[in-house]
Amino acid sequence: MVRLSESQRASRPLVLLVGPTAVGKSEIGLRLAHALDTDVLTADSRQVYRGMDIATDKPTPEQRQGVPHRLIDVVDPDEPFNAGQYRRLALQEIQRLYGAGRLPLIVGGTGLYVRTLIHGLCDAPRADQAYRESLLQEARAQGGYFLHGELTRVDPESAARLHPHDEVKIVRALEVHHLSGQRLSDMQRQHRFAEQEFSVLLIGLNRDRAQLYRRIDDRVESMFARGVVEETERLLADGYGRELGAMKGLGYQQVAGYLAGEYDRAEALRLLKRDTRHFAKRQLTWFRKEPGLRWCELTEQDRSEDVAGRLLEMIRSFVQDLAPRRPEEMPNPSLTMEQESTA
């Protein structure tokens, strides 16, 4: 158990456990939360959706009963959600934990959520729903890769880091260029996510590539065994169509194609394994650019309880070494509605 003193709370400590999908974050994070006597604050852009459980590898009811998991099941699959909203909710949970003298523990693989929480948001223009709808209409007329091609033309740096199917982020980048005349990548570089209101311990989990891919394949097989096909059928029957951003996530997109008769079950399985590997590579690329991240390389021989024990010692040392910051050094943690619309 770790309880924060008043002086330690003043330095606003924050522990984050990140890494690619299937690396073992959830199990190790669960053990850390038990040992620290704190909640898990999830940083996962897909686990925010209610009813999307198997393909997102959401913690089980039993796991949640043992350790409270926050920032999951926040919105329905057809409701919008972005990094600004995540940051606002996360700040509320963090402040609640500080009030109880508990150490906030963030666990997840969505790099943008992690970066936005630590450093804030750049000053990009507010959303323009009419322009977004015009882009989506043109994309439906021109074909699936139209939007990514347009982004490559106006902001090649942003296009290079976004998957061609990541419609939400592509539309946002195009919207920023349209409204401001500036590239989103330039705005982010100028901002450099420089605001930091926490004392941060950022830990990254990683494994040998072959081992990670085997774990990904095992997870995908498990998803099919646990009923991801039936879960996708239910979501579609409830009116959540394939065009929704939430339904384009890993698992639902590939299974929906199988249910539509575009390929067989074996091909859906193969596609999901392939696409999840690609996703893991993009996650690693993102996190390798995070300053101050301390990597923990795992092997097949490492037991999760042993890894959690090593990380717990690192966390305790981090907390003991905290130096409180003066009030004038602390930025305002509140998030304006205008900032909230930028992510």
Model pLDDT, residue 30: 96
Model pLDDT, residue 285: 95
Model pLDDT, residue 257: 97
Cα angle, residue 116 at apex, residues 151 and 64 outer, rounded to 5°: 115
> Token digits for 217?
């394949």
Secondary structure in 3-state letters for 97-123:
HHHCCCCCEEEECCHHHHHHHHHCCCC
Model pLDDT, residue 65: 86
* 257 CB neighbour count, 10 Å cutoff: 15
Helix then strand then coil, in percent of the chain rounded to 5, is: 55, 10, 35
Model pLDDT, residue 334: 38
> Token digits for 172?
């946002």
Residue 44: C-alpha distances to residues 70, 111, 197 (Å): 11, 9, 21
CA dist 110 and 115 (Å) reads 9
CA dist 37 and 33 (Å) reads 6
CA dist 76 and 58 (Å) reads 15
> Token digits for 12?
């606003």
Provide the strand spans (E) within 188-334: 199-207, 294-298
pTM beyond 0.95: the answer is no
Model pLDDT, residue 342: 39
Torsion angle in degrees (nearest 10) through CA of 336, 188, 72, 33:
-110
Provide the strand spans (E) within 169-315: 199-207, 294-298
CB 199 within 8 A of CB 13: yes
CB 298 within 8 A of CB 24: yes
CB 165 within 8 A of CB 278: no
Please report the sign of the dihedral spanned by the C-alpha atoms of residue 252, residue 253, residue 259, residue 265.
Answer: negative
> Token digits for 322?
């905290």
Provide the strand spans (E) within 219-323: 294-298
* 16 DSSP β-pair partners: 106, 202
CA dist 84 and 74 (Å) reads 14
325, with CB counted inside 10 A (0-12, 13-18, 19+), is middle
Residue by residue, pLDDT tens for the chain (343 residues) are 899 999 999 999 999 999 999 999 999 999 999 999 999 999 999 999 999 999 999 998 888 888 999 999 999 999 999 999 999 999 999 999 999 999 999 999 999 999 999 988 766 677 788 888 888 888 888 876 888 999 999 999 989 888 887 888 898 889 988 888 888 888 766 655 455 689 999 999 999 999 999 999 999 999 999 999 999 999 999 999 999 999 999 999 999 999 999 999 999 999 999 999 999 999 999 999 998 999 999 999 999 999 999 999 999 999 999 865 554 444 444 333 233 333 4
Model pLDDT, residue 66: 85
Within its chain, how far is the Cα of 96 from the centroid?
21
Please report the sign of the dihedral spanned by the C-alpha atoms of residue 26, residue 28, residue 34, residue 36.
Answer: negative
- Choose among 107, 18, 126: nearest CA to 69: 107
> Token digits for 80?
């919008």
Provide the strand spans (E) within 208-269: none
Model pLDDT, residue 139: 83
Model pLDDT, residue 188: 67
Model pLDDT, residue 328: 47
